[in-house]
Structure 1
C-alpha cells in the first residue's frame, strides 16, 4: 500500500513539475515577444520594457509556486536533508521574488496615478 502511495505521489509531482515548466516557458515566450514588439515600435521603451519584465516575473513566481508544490509532494515520504534543503531554497527564492515583485508593482501603480491624487 505504501509503495503504491509513493508511486502515485511520484506521478503527481511529475505532473506538477510539467505544469511548472510549461508556465515558465509560456512566460519566457511572452517576454521575448514583448521585447521584440518594444524593439520594433515603442513610444516609451523603458516603461514598456519594465512592464514586460514585471509580467515575466509574475510567470516565474507562478512557475516556482508549482515547483514548490511538486517538491512538497516529493518530500512527503521520509525526506532527506538534501531534499529539505532544496525545498527550503525554492521556497526562499519564491518568497524573495514575490516580495520584490509586489514592491515593484506597488511602485509602478503609484507612478501611474495622476499627480493630483498622489498629493492628497
Structure 2
C-alpha cells in the first residue's frame, strides 16, 4: 500500500472524528452569566440593523439556491424517467451529484449568514454557538464533498469500462 494512500485514508478517518469531537465539546460548553447590560452606541445599533439585513439576504440566497436545485433535480429526474427508464440509475446518480454540489454551496451561504449575525458585539456564548454551527456545517459539507468525489470516480470508471468494451 502506498504511503500517500494510507495517509489519505488516515486523514479521511481522523478529520470527521475530530470535527465531531469538537462539535460535542463546543455544545457541552455553556457559558452562563456572560450577558452583561451593555450600552450600545447609535453606530453599533445601525451596524446591527445593516448586518441583520445582510444575514437575511445570505439565508435567502441559500434557500433560493437549494430550492432551485431541488426543483431542477425533480424536473430532470421526471424527464429522464419517462423518456428512457433503462438509464434511470445513471440519471439518479448524476442528479444526486449535482444536488450535492448545490447543497455544499447552500451550506456556505448559511455559514456566511451565521458569521454575519455574530459579527457585531458577540459575547462568549454567541461565539461558542457560532463555532458549533460552523463545525456542524463543515462536517456536513465534508461528507457531501466526499460523496461527490466517490460518485464522480464511479462515473469515470464506468465510462472507461464502457469505452474499453467498444
What's the secondary structure of 1:61's corresponding residue?
helix
- CA-based RMSD of the aligned residues comes to 2.2
2:62 to 20, 28, 44: 20
1:70 to 113, 121, 130: 113
- Greater relative CO, 1 or 2 (CA 8 Å, sep 6+): 2
Aligned residue number for residue 30 of structure 2 = none
- Mapped to 2, the partners of 1:98 and 1:33 lie a distance apart of 25
- Normalised to the residue count of structure 1, the TM-score between the two structures is 0.78
Within-5 A mapping of 1:1-120: 1-42=43-84, 43-79=86-122, 81=125, 84-85=128-129, 87-111=130-154, 112-113=156-157, 114-115=160-161
- Tell me the TM-score normalized by structure 2: 0.59
Gaps in structure 2 of 5+ consecutive residues: 1-42, 162-166
Q: What are the Cα deviations for residues 15-62 of structure 1, in whole angstroms up to 9, with x where unaligned?
A: 111111111111111111122122212332112101101111111111
Alignment size in residue pairs: 114
Once structures 1 and 2 are overlaid, which stretch shifts more, 98-107 or 37-46?
Answer: 98-107
Contiguous gaps of at least 5 residues in structure 1: 116-120
Specify the structure having the higher radius of gyration (Cα): 2
Cα separation, partners in 2 of 1:47 and 1:73, compared to 1, 3 Å: same
